[in-house]
């Protein structure tokens, strides 16, 4: 679910070829398309000044957004609030944060006009720090947002293109009305069910099946099988490629195979296994304590086979993927809260073994670990500061109780982690157990 791209910087030393590439990127970011030939005639002098180096990125964008080309697309015929929302997307790479920011910029636009509004954005401290005079604005990553809700709003806005939702109602109101906005065009849920077309993820021709097979392995195994492993599932592959098995049934056989179980089930805690299975088969993380409890009970009392059947037979799987669609990481509407969406986003960036095979992601967060890079670490471990590293190295090692072995303590710890209330479990741990839990990540 990543819609950001790296910053492109153009300065006075840049070549004409680099400036040509930058010009195209500016149009993609600000206009959401390349200008038509007749439109280029209106901005030909502006383009030439930029290509010759007379204008920096910031000044060129300032002229572009004040041109009839931009204003006809995003201002004229639009509501003021929709124009403000689009301007923030194009110039600051994010959505509006809150009602206070909405009120401030709406007042500026209505009282002083478009020119003052644009000048305020381009002259702001945020724009200066983020892009300066020579960097093209871009959709910025999660660390730039002050809340999960704002990140979700920005992520949704980046999928929208001019005209998709009309020119009046901004994205924030579509969400409040309970509309479905995953595809960039907000519709009511019943309309979505009629219009939803999963053809991009479905399997039809022989070529589709070959591509789907590679996609299934990337989604479910997080890699392509090795040659030795393919021998174990050769018959299964052949039945899928010949059309005897659809996607759902092929997945059912694959996750029950030794190949999958050796990677994600054996040597893993039950809760970590459930977390990875939800990532692979439902494209999300576990929702809450109640869901954890239901699936923990199914797995521990009835086994792996019953656990997988519960997922594949669920109403959620049927509606999301049916029999012919390869599971994939799903967008915001499938998550019940911003926290759950961020949790899913974090799990999507994790690969098997990164966090170890015992402690699931949700417990790392409860412990205050930093998981942004896909590998959870203690906050002080992030700095490459030699002094910090030396301090950690000099900390006294946790002594094992004389009457118990380390293996026994780990076993007890993993049993505690099956409890559905993470906060309660962590509060009940002693310092030895907390240290042991952190060490399991290494």
Task: Return the bridge partners of 202, or none.
Answer: 325
Of 258, 266, 198, give the one whose Cα is nearest residue 229. Answer: 258
pLDDT at 90: 95
Q: How far apart are CA 51 and CA 65, in angstroms?
A: 18
Of 71, 84, 64, 61, give the one whose Cα is nearest residue 130. Answer: 61
Of 369, 387, 389, 386, give the one whose Cα is nearest residue 378. Answer: 369
Task: Return the bridge partners of 164, or none.
Answer: 166
pLDDT at 244: 86
| 101-109 contacts, C-beta under 8 A, 24 or more apart | 106/80, 106/81, 109/80, 109/83, 109/84
CA atoms within 13 A on the CB side of 150: 21
Question: What domains appear along the chain, each with residue ranges and CATH number?
Answer: 16-193 (1.10.3130.20), 197-376 (1.10.3130.20), 377-439 (no CATH)
CA dihedral 282, 287, 292, 294 (to 10 degrees): -70
Each residue's pLDDT expressed in tens, for the chain with a length of 442 residues: 344 456 899 888 889 899 999 999 999 999 999 999 999 999 999 999 999 999 999 999 999 999 999 999 888 878 888 899 899 999 999 988 888 888 899 889 988 999 999 999 999 999 999 999 999 999 887 667 766 667 667 776 776 665 554 555 566 555 555 555 545 455 544 433 333 334 344 455 677 788 889 999 999 998 899 999 999 999 999 999 988 888 999 999 999 999 999 988 987 888 888 988 999 999 888 887 788 889 989 998 999 999 999 999 999 998 888 888 899 987 656 666 666 666 676 676 666 555 555 556 665 555 566 555 545 565 554 444 444 444 434 444 444 333 345 556 666 666 665 554 556 666 667 777 677 666 665 5
Residue 278 structure tokens: 């939800």
């Amino acid at each position: 679910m990543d819609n950001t791209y790296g910053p492109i910087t153009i300065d006075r030393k840049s070549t004409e070829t680099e400036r040509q590439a930058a010009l195209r990127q500016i149009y993609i970011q600000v206009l959401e398309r390349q200008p038509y030939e007749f439109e280029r005639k209106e901005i030909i002098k502006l383009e030439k000044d930029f290509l010759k180096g007379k204008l920096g990125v910031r000044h060129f964008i300032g002229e572009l957004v004040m041109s009839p080309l931009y204003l006809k697309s995003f201002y004229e015929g639009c509501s003021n609030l929709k124009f403000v929302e689009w301007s923030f997307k194009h110039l600051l790479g994010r959505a509006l944060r809150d009602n206070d920011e909405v009120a401030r910029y709406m007042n500026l636009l209505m009282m002083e006009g478009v020119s003052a509004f644009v000048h305020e954005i381009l002259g702001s401290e945020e724009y200066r720090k983020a892009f300066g005079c020579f960097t093209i604005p871009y959709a910025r990553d999660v660390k730039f947002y002050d809340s999960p809700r704002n990140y979700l709003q920005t992520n949704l806005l980046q999928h929208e293109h001019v005209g998709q939702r009309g020119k009046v109602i901004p994205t924030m109101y579509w969400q409040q009305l309970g509309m479905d906005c995953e595809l960039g065009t907000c519709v009511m849920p019943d309309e979505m069910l009629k219009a939803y077309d999963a053809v991009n993820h479905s399997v039809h021709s022989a070529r589709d099946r070959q591509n789907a097979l590679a996609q299934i392995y990337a989604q479910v195994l997080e890699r392509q099988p090795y040659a030795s492993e393919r021998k174990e599932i050769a018959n299964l592959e052949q039945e899928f490629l010949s059309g005897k098995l659809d996607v759902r049934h092929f997945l059912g056989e694959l996750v029950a195979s030794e190949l999958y179980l050796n990677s994600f089930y054996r040597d893993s805690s039950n809760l970590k296994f459930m977390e990875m299975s939800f990532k692979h088969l439902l494209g999300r993380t576990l929702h809450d304590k109640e869901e954890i409890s239901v699936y923990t009970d199914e797995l521990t009392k009835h086994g792996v086979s019953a656990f997988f059947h519960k997922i594949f037979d669920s109403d959620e799987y049927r509606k999301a993927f049916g029999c012919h669609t390869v599971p994939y990481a799903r967008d915001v509407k499938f998550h019940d809260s911003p926290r759950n969406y961020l949790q899913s986003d974090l799990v999507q960036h994790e690969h098997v073994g990164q966090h170890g095979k015992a402690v699931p992601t949700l417990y790392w967060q409860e412990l205050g670990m930093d998981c942004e890079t896909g590998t959870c670490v203690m906050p002080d471990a992030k700095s490459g500061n030699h002094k910090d590293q030396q301090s950690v190295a000099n900390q006294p090692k946790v002594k094992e109780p004389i009457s118990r072995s380390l293996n026994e303590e780990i076993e007890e710890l993993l049993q505690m982690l099956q409890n559905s209330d993470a906060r309660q479990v962590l509060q009940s741990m002693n310092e030895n157990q907390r240290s042991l839990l952190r060490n399991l990540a290494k």
